Structure 1
């Protein structure tokens, strides 16, 4: 009996002397929530908001600009006066035409009186037929000269009216190409007017990219100073030839809608994207390669543990990788420090990186 007690006591001493192994430490990790991408970004470019319709206008008569009545950026209504020419030449032409008209009117009175007199003499039998014919011909010639003189007066009045340059529609002045005191010719471009109702985005695209644009390409347009103001756009037209200096082609985009922040001249940022088959893109730091196999570490949100999972890659860059399979959208994976993890290890998700 004593011997059994000694054996039991020895076993208890040995058991008490052994220490229990420490628990596995909880490892903090950076993580990211998997999201499937259904669009591919093709590039980001700067541009501006411009009017779809612009008109270059000028005077219909030559002359020296006497005044410029509006500045660039001014919004003008239909019929607004933009600029005027010195009217001296046109006024002189009108006075000359009015003088010619008065002269012909006096000649017409004489021709009418002579024609009546010759008709009366011929009716009494004392006038010659030849004299009557001459008087009637002079009357018709003078009448034609009168019509011509009246047309000249009307034309001179029109020319005088053309010294005023007015708008024929509501517009915004976007450029002046002549100043007061400058002599311009008839039809020379003086001012550019933009119709503010229809706006579009204008950007310059690399020539090599234009040929690769898919038919369903979507443009995301945002105001540079306030990226929260956005809309989408589609291609309206692209220049057929690239500019020799920059090798770019100007593209004009039709906006889906026009928020108030999209004013004429507003600087914009345009991002090109195209619909693609949904795929998973992760940072390259989430990849672990073991024995020639690629894998990632997936976090169990309930137990806060990690487990490795084999994946298949489509492509990879210096910073990212695209997965063909192995993970689903919505799962959370470790995004950094994967080489020091063990299966079933407890982890703590970095609260500063909730995605």
Structure 2
């Protein structure tokens, strides 16, 4: 059994402990029950409305080189994958028939020039004899007519020389552009006719980039919009360009609109490689931007918590573009206001907060 003196001792100890606890509670710092957060200020920034796409490179010029004269292929001077320059020989056709035709046409020109020279002397004599009335007028007229006929024949022969020379040049099949041989469709020894395709070339300098975009953007797509292009094979290099053409038809398979950007090859881009494109649809000045984690989903909608006098004030906002961890606030918040950042998801309206740190 506990004696009365022992009860008194126990009671005094309990009362002293309670008093100490009350005193510590009174000395605790005010607001220690608030939610710990960090804060950040809403920033005004100039932002771009960007639509991304992955497309591919095509050649601006891809001519098919065909035979312009008939003949047997004596030599192939370029193969698939070769880089060629404008005017470079791709193949040589047998020139023998054209050489013979050219020599015959040139011989005819020389013969007619000799006849014309002789006829001119005859006309000169007849003109003198007419003055002395030794010959009738019609003799001179016949000589002048014959001279005119010879001159017409000379013009025809000269045209045949030019045509034979042209065909002789065309027996050397040459590249019409600077580019690369994509396909070779002829072999040495083949007999080719006029119009037969021999080579397929692609230009390496002037390129077209095809970028597909959703049909829902069709009304916003137009020539002249700025585009940033980059190739996975050449990271770090960005090419600035503008939309050259918007194809009006929508692809049945992909439901996409084809946007074309003409660019000069920045290095080693080749037809067929994939390209990352960023199409800048619009630019907005002084857009209000905040970190994504500052925007919290609540029954009222998207909200941010504005921090004032140690408490969180719930503000319903509307959001816009999201990029690089930032979100645009289109209404409900002004630039420069301080809002909760880390810890915002644990807040409610008018909740007390403890700011652990602030970011500007």
- Identify the residue that residue 296 of structure 2 maps to in structure 1: 287
Query: Which one of the candidate residues 179, 188, 197 is aligned to 1:172?
Result: 179
Query: Which one of the candidate residues 308, 312, 322 is aligned to 1:308?
Result: 312
8 Å CA contact 1:48, 1:268 repeated in 2: yes
> What are the equivalent positions in structure 2 for 1:1-355 lying under 5 Å apart?
14-16=15-17, 19=21, 38-39=46-47, 41-49=49-57, 54=61, 56=63, 58=65, 61-64=68-71, 66=73, 67-71=75-79, 74-98=82-106, 100-101=108-109, 104=112, 134=142, 137-167=145-175, 171-173=178-180, 175-176=182-183, 178-180=185-187, 181=190, 183-186=192-195, 190-192=199-201, 194=203, 196=205, 201-213=209-221, 217-243=225-251, 245-253=253-261, 260-261=266-267, 263-265=269-271, 266-273=273-280, 274-276=282-284, 278-280=287-289, 283=292, 286-287=295-296, 289=298, 292=300, 295-296=303-304, 307-315=311-319, 323=329, 324-326=331-333, 328=335, 333-334=341-342, 337-338=345-346, 343-345=352-354
8 Å CA contact 1:42, 1:272 repeated in 2: yes
Task: Name which of structure 1's ranges 120-129 and 202-211 shifts more when overlaid on structure 2.
Answer: 120-129
- In structure 1, distance between residues paired with 2:56 and 2:291: 34
Superposed CA offset, 1:280-306 (max 9, x none): 46547851537x586445789xxxxx8
- Distance change (3 Å), C-alpha of 1:336 and 1:15: same
Gapped runs of 5+ residues in structure 2? 1-7
- In structure 1, distance between residues paired with 2:128 and 2:297: 124
RMSD: 5.3
- Distance change (3 Å), C-alpha of 1:285 and 1:225: farther
- In structure 1, distance between residues paired with 2:150 and 2:157: 10
- Distance change (3 Å), C-alpha of 1:244 and 1:55: same
Gapped runs of 5+ residues in structure 1? 1-6, 301-305
Superposed CA offset, 1:310-349 (max 9, x none): 12222589x9976423475686513675269962357699
Q: How far apart are residue 160 of structure 1 and its match?
A: 0.7
Superposed CA offset, 1:242-288 (max 9, x none): 45554544323366xx7955634353201223213513465478515
- In structure 1, distance between residues paired with 2:217 and 2:301: 36
Q: Give secondary structure in 2 for the equivalent of 1:334.
A: coil
Q: How far apart are residue 175 of structure 1 and its match?
A: 3.8
- Distance change (3 Å), C-alpha of 1:63 and 1:326: same
8 Å CA contact 1:219, 1:272 repeated in 2: yes
State the aligned residue count. 334
8 Å CA contact 1:221, 1:271 repeated in 2: yes
Q: Give secondary structure in 1 for the equivalent of 2:221.
A: coil
TM-score scaled by length of structure 1? 0.65
Task: Name which of structure 1's ranges 81-90 and 328-337 shifts more when overlaid on structure 2.
Answer: 328-337
